[in-house]
Structure 1
Amino acid sequence: MAERPENLDDLDFLSFIDFAVDRTTSEIPEVDPKAMRLGLGLTRVASAMIYDLEAEVHRPSGWSWPGFRILFVLWLAGPSDAKRVARLSGASRAAVSALVNTLERDGLVHRRRSSTDRRAVELSLTEAGREVITDTYIRHNQREQTWAKALTGPEQTILIGLLEKLAQAATGTDVHTRE
């Protein structure tokens, strides 16, 4: 077992990656440190970015990150059934249903029975929902720009390409994604 470093208190959410990779590979030599670093790096940076966006933009606007994702989908895709909103937002149908209850109560989303399938529910933004998501998205994108400034323009392009390549791999038969 690797020794516990004396400066463990100096580690934070992101710097924990180096410690975790070193400690894990000393415990389990067959672990692939590059794959582990990739997985931890992606998930931890994404988590840190989401936390920042939620704290700086979405909570002050009155909703959570999952609520934003639903508003964002409805804003861009237009009126949609709950199944499509779940698929496009990466949420479960149960989560969409619960979130829509709150968003509807707040006057941001309208829910009605589908005219073509009485079992389906169509979701759409209210006028207030449209106004608040467009106003809020400006602040959201400003935070995205703050994060993006850590990279040069060419680095941003390379990272986008690499993320798109990973996203394409997610369509493989052995990778599970929300549907």
Structure 2
Amino acid sequence: MTDPLSKRRLKAWIRLLGVTRSIEAELREFLRVKHDTTLPRFDVMAALWRRREGLTMTELSRMLLVSNGNATAVVDRLEKDGLARRRPSETDRRTVHVALTDEGARLFEGLAAEHEHEVNRLLSDLAEEDLDALTAMLRRITKGEPK
């Protein structure tokens, strides 16, 4: 027997995906136009800012769900711009750690504040109760909590 909610769930998924893509596109454009940067660059800087002591390239790739090659390309540009630094592991020659420089951390903090402001603007139609309900629903989906 077919689940009577199956089609509605599919439509909800398509709507959720569409909203996500739309917001992501606006954030990409905001970062490009206002800050001459990219969303992948912002994401790498955010991951490195959260882990100030640095990450291995493998940890960074896993955290961002991207290939080592993609992460390496972004880190190469950040390092060239003086915003990140690499250092070899003291215990494993194959492992490289990457961290933001002080300049990179300062730049990211400014970007993060403006990014938050832009996300706030994009979601400004949601009241506090809407945000609570949406957060609860998304938690149920991602953590398999009871419906």
Tell me the TM-score normalized by structure 1.
0.71
1:33 pairs with 2:10:
no
Give how far 1:126 is off.
Answer: 1.0
Q: Deviations over 1:19-60 (max 9, x none)?
A: xxxxxxxxxxxxx42232122112211111111112113553
Structural mapping, 1:102-121, within 5 Å? 102-121=77-96
1:131 pairs with 2:76:
no
Where does structure 1 lack aligned partners over 5 or more consecutive residues? Answer: 1-31, 170-179
Where does structure 2 lack aligned partners over 5 or more consecutive residues? Answer: 1-5
Tell me the TM-score normalized by structure 2.
0.85
Structural mapping, 1:27-106, within 5 Å? 32-78=6-52, 79-106=54-81
**C-alpha distance in 2, partners of 1:60/1:90?**
26
Q: Deviations over 1:99-118 (max 9, x none)?
A: 11111112211112111221
Q: Which residue in 2 is equivalent to 1:20?
A: none
Q: Which residue in 2 is equivalent to 1:142?
A: 117
Q: Give identity over the alignment, percent.
A: 22
**C-alpha distance in 1, partners of 2:64/2:42?**
9
Q: Which residue in 2 is equivalent to 1:18?
A: none
**C-alpha distance in 2, partners of 1:99/1:74?**
12
**Greater Rg by CA:** 1
> Aligned to 1:151, what secondary structure does the other structure show?
coil
The aligned amino acid for 2:18 is R
Give me the CA root mean square deviation.
2.0
> Aligned to 1:138, what secondary structure does the other structure show?
helix
Moved more, 34-43 or 118-127: 34-43
The aligned amino acid for 1:113 is P
Equivalent pairs counted in the alignment come to 140
